[in-house]
Chains A and B, each alone.
Chain A
Amino acid sequence: MILRLYCAAVFAFLSLPIVVAVGVAFGSDKIARFPPTALSLRWFGVALSNPTFITALGNSVVLATLTTLLTVVIGLPAATALVRRRLPGQSLLETFLLSPLSLPGVLFGVAMLFFLGASGFGLTGWGILAAHVVIAVPYVLRTTLAVYRGLDRGLEETAGVLGASPWQTFWHVTLPLLRPGLVAGGLFAFLTSFDNVPVSIFLTTARTTTLPVTIMSYLVNQDFDPIVGAISAVQVALVLGLLVLLDRIYGIGQITSLSGQ
């Protein structure tokens, strides 16, 4: 009973702010008010016809998608090397690859800004992508390593004895069994990129700005109004849609438990 109350309290604490922000968007009032006095979708219209928000939303989706793909492409071979090979300085290498997790985002953002300036790359979308990949790789690496380390080596060996080449073994046995880790890590990578502010804020320009950065600067300049609520609701809807999709395909319990079964 107490546990249930506790759970309910935690759940409320976590979700109420979102409910308020999203709820505001469904009001017809000119200023943000919760609960709204009358329901309306007008602010969605306003938000979605605002070119700044739409550009930023598009940028964020493309950026998060590319970040996810790249982190998987980098994280999978890295995990394979860390688990299946004996490398000099193995644990050091692993710590290094996971270190962005413990680095303050602002610090990394500033450092990246100086680096892109000093090295002559300049502030382009590629710079932001690189920065997002660096901070998102640890998530994919972490989850994939966890599944990899729990993987029965005998499965791969048996596949080999049965006539599968190393590549066939990887494709037909190892990769399918690692998939829960890759999907979970990829999901975290997507979300990390999709709602990142501390790093992005140093690296974006008017052309490359992301949705969270745009929302932030809008709030700084305009104050909280229903337009922000509407665009936040769109963002939440996108993420929820992604989660539902993954749940349909893999089962969310499987992804979060990383059991590999």
Chain B
Amino acid sequence: MSTPLGRSTMAEVELRGIAKRYGAVQAVADLDLRIDPGQFVSLLGPSGCGKTTTLRIIAGLVRPDAGQVIIGGRVMNDVPVHHRGLGLVAQNYALFPHMTVMENVTFGLRMRRAAPADIARRAGEALEMVRLSGLGDRYPRQLSGGQQQRVALARCLLVEPAVLLLDEPLGALDKKLREAMQVELKSLQRQVGITAIFVTHDQEEALTLSDRIAVMHQGRIQQVGAPHEIYETPRTRFVADFIGVCNFLEGKVIGRDAAGVTIRTDGGALVSIAADEARALTEGTRVVAAVRPEKLTLRAPGGSSGPGLSARVEAVVYVGTAVHYHLRLATGERLIAYRQNDAAPAVALATGSDVVVSWAPGTARLLPEESG
């Protein structure tokens, strides 16, 4: 693939059994991950989950205690940082303050002793690509946050890295600018066709940008999948909780049939859930039923439109695009339900009114009860 910046390498990245310990803290534990060429993959998790350490191990800035880093089919463990041929955009951009924009952007090529004419041409193209032509003589401190960000990207892309490493690069920007940069970053990555690894704690950002997301917790990958898989079919309670908002009903399996299982929640409510796969759920197994707030349907009590749980509206929060209902089940558990603020006539659901909560089969997930 040819781009304004030259040939893209589109390397595959593979991590095998990576582990790293800092004193008593196991920062990364037995981590396996495969990233296909040209994919945009996010390492997502709360601070301290090991995502940044993983990125730094790939970059060669941190030496893993165990495991292999393989980039483009080559084991990189003993290859020093400056020979790995990668690109890194740090959270604060790490622009060299004593160099102009042009000097920053051409840094990698100059260190590689590329031909001056070649450097000038490619730098011009790169600055144009990130819409910074004409700002080459400025110093980083004279630029806005978004412009600094684009300089860092251009500096990175100019060396035609095998992999683009992004360490929370949008973290320092305000919300509006961040959303604009997300779009820009994604289209730039597509255009160049580069493999990108993106570290973030912002689940929305990960959902928006990624081809695949690896959710990390306590040094381990909890789940890897496309954004919709991670959101719709979380495999652990941590993932369901970390990505978006989720209602959890803890309980015990009390029966199962062809359609699924019935659980009795700790409060005493009976809930039927379609259990898809042949999961070994014997009676008495403790489980967690997870259902997203936007999947819940509220209706007035009475009538006979199927099963549901009785609840009372405890609070109504208007957030503009939606209305959030805080509910308490007759059995004591709390739930939250979202209703889109669309053209449909609003049912009068004031605080204190009684409602029946239900959800379509298949929208609730059964998750194993978490040990840790």
Contacts and interface: CB of A to CB of B under 8 A. Distances in A.
B215 interface: no
Contacts, number: 67
B296 interface: no
A163 B111 contact: yes
Interface of B: 59-61, 81-88, 90, 92, 94, 96-98, 107-108, 111-112, 141, 155-156, 159, 165
B108 A163 contact: yes
Contacts of B81: 157, 160-161
A157 B97 contact: no
A159 B112 CA distance: 12
26 contacts: A152-B92, A154-B90, A154-B92, A154-B94, A155-B94, A157-B88, A157-B94, A158-B88, A158-B94, A159-B107, A160-B61, A160-B81, A161-B61, A161-B84, A161-B87, A161-B165, A162-B87, A163-B111, A163-B159, A164-B82, A164-B108, A165-B111, A169-B82, A173-B96, A176-B98, A261-B141
A149 interface: no
Contacts of A163: 82-83, 85, 108, 111-112, 159
Interface of A: 152, 154-155, 157-166, 168-169, 172-173, 176-177, 261
Given A158-B88, A261-B141, A164 B94 contact: no
Contacts of B59: 157, 161
Given A158-B88, A160-B81, A162-B155, A152 B94 contact: yes
A165 B159 CA distance: 15
A168 B111 contact: yes
Contact of A172 (B82, B86, B111): B111
A160 B85 CA distance: 10
A172 B108 CA distance: 11
Contacts of A158: 88, 90, 94
A232 B83 CA distance: 57
Given A152-B92, A173-B96, A177-B98, A162 B61 contact: no
Contacts of A157: 59, 61, 81, 88, 90, 94
Nearest to B110: A172
